[in-house]
């Protein structure tokens, strides 16, 4: 998972960012060396506390969803925000696969997948399924409806654990 990202057509700027990283420059200072870089908000948790890693991943996911430039960006962002607003899902470690929102009881690198898969469609509808490309648990007009179905499918769980 990237800690920083950005876009530039200038290979020299990429080299400056790589050099700053190599030299141990703090993440928030790399932008001074390479202005095209921005922090993703992910994994800036020095003690690897699972609850803070989960909160950090949610933060990065919400930021990325808000910055997307795809046709279905609004639907995807609505799904991420609706899932984050639900305490039972917010307590789980979120991740995406093929733009489908999934959840884990452990953090990366060893994910323990739990619950259904949520997806946003380009027509503004939302799917819930037991697998990435299925919507066997239903298709819904709002992200909140899809999230409510996903929550009902969750087993009783504790907080995320560190995935090692």
Domain presence at residue 57? yes
44: in domain: no
Q: Which helix (H) or strand (E) holds 56?
A: helix 50-67
State pLDDT tens for residues 67-112.
887 777 899 999 999 999 999 999 999 999 888 999 999 988 889 9
Domain range enclosing 134: 50-152
In whole angstroms, give the CA distance from residue 84 to residue 147: 9
The answer on 122 and 70 residing in a single domain is: yes
Q: Do 28 and 65 sit in the same domain of this protein?
A: no
**Cα separation, 39 vs 56, whole angstroms:** 12
160 within domain boundaries:
no
Total number of domains in the chain: 2
Q: Is 127 in the same domain as 92?
A: yes
Q: What pLDDT is stored for residue 49 in this prediction?
A: 84
Query: Does pLDDT of 38 surpass 80?
Result: no
List pLDDT tens digits, range 10-25: 999 889 888 888 888 8
The model's pTM:
0.76
Q: For residue 84, what is the enclosing H or E element?
A: helix 73-85
Same domain, 85 and 129: yes
Question: Could you tell me which residue, 103 or 38, shows the higher pLDDT?
Answer: 103
Q: Where does the pLDDT of residue 42 fall: very low under 50, low under 70, confident under 90, or very high at 90 and above? A: low
- Are 33 and 59 within one domain? no
pLDDT at 33: 82
Contact in structure between 38 and 5 (CB atoms under 8 Å): yes
| Closest C-alpha among 90, 89, 22, 26 to residue 55 | 90
Structure tokens belonging to residue 29: 């200072």
């Amino acid at each position: 998972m990237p800690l920083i990202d950005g876009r530039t057509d200038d290979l020299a700027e990429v080299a400056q960012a790589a050099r700053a990283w190599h030299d141990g420059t703090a993440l928030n200072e790399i932008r001074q060396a390479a202005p095209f870089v921005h922090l993703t908000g992910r994994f800036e948790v020095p003690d690897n506390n699972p609850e803070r890693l989960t909160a950090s991943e949610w933060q990065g996911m919400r930021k990325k969803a808000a910055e997307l430039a795809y046709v279905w960006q609004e639907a995807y962002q609505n799904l991420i925000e609706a899932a984050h607003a639900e305490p039972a899902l917010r307590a789980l470690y979120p991740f995406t696969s093929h733009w489908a929102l999934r959840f884990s009881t452990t953090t990366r690198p060893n994910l323990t997948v739990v619950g259904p898969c949520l997806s946003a469609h380009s027509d503004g509808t939302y799917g819930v399924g037991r697998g990435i490309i299925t919507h066997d648990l239903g298709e819904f007009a709002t992200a909140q409806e899809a999230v409510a179905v996903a929550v009902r499918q969750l087993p009783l769980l504790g907080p995320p654990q560190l995935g090692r």
